Amino acid sequence: MVVLVTGASGQLGQALQAIAPKHSTLQFHFASSAEADITNKENLQEVFNRLKPDFCINAAAYTAVDKAESEPEKAHLVNVTGAKNLAEVCKEYNTTLVHVSTDFVFDGNKNMPYTEEDETNPQGVYGKTKREGEQEIEKILAAHYIIRTSWLYSEYGNNFMKTMIRLGKERDALSVVNDQTGTPTNANNLAEAILQIIESGKKEYGTYHYSNEGVATWYDFAKKIFEFNTISVDVKPITTTDYPTPAKRPVYSVLDKSKIKTTFNLQISDWEKALDSFTE
């Protein structure tokens, strides 16, 4: 099976490249945005015509949550138009699309894990464009998996874990928000889950939630990052109001993984155990 990965130079794209050699039944083609620009439908058609992919994993997205508030057109171009283009080209070439989405499609007002059936209500430009992208795919292409994830981190790209390690080595004290609750997700674990879905041969299309197991605040996450990397730094808990950002974050965005675990027989690691695999 030929698997095309768009956004291959991003965090998830690089995680997929790292684990690809373990999946010898799949023939991967990793395309950066320069090769496969999801905002350019003609370009996508050329790539699909050449590769004839059975699956396309869309790891390309506009993910600058705060910047999106001042660049709504750019976020829309990638997250909505890009998703629509991919869905149309996948339909044309009989390709199954695996599209990665986000917990930001929810408003965060719930106090129980969000299921796939819960009503979406994104609060910022990033979340709104990601939800609109999901809706375009749902309208156009039956053969799709939309996988919502949260708090993604890895050794690649820019993410909370790498920022904390860098700041922890530079400073004696740090303040981290302690009133936003969710679950960190190891990008390698997400990549493995996606490939397990592809290799399952099942056609249980639709929307799924995936993160590691457990619950944490950003403060909890930071404390564990420093503990596992033996970095000595004084971490102070603060509130969201102490650290205002252009985009509103969900106060609570824990995802219910029951559906993906049951459908694809996935075993999911606790977030602390998953994080421990990234110790330096």
**Tokens coding 210:** 């995936």
Structure tokens at 144: 């799709």
Per the annotation, the verdict on 205 as an active-site residue is: no
Q: Can you read off the two tokens belonging to residue 56?
A: 């396309």
What is the DSSP pairing of strand 2-6 with strand 27-31? Answer: parallel
Q: How many CB atoms lie within 10 A of CB 120?
A: 17
Residues 6+ apart with CB under 8 A from 168: 174, 225, 226, 229, 231, 233
Report yes or no: 125 and 68 within 8 Å, Cβ to Cβ.
yes
Per the DSSP assignment, residues forming a β-bridge with 152 are: 185
Please report how many Cα atoms fall inside a 13 Å half-sphere around the Cα of residue 72, on the Cβ side.
Answer: 8
Are 211 and 149 in contact, with CB atoms under 8 Å apart?
yes
C-alpha–C-alpha distance, residues 270 and 233, integer Å: 24
b or e along 246-279 (b: 16 or more beta carbons within 10 Å of the residue's beta carbon)? Answer: ebbbbebbbbbbebbbeebebebeebbebbeebe
Catalytic residue among 62, 93, 114, 126: 126
Residue type, 94: N
Active site residues: 126
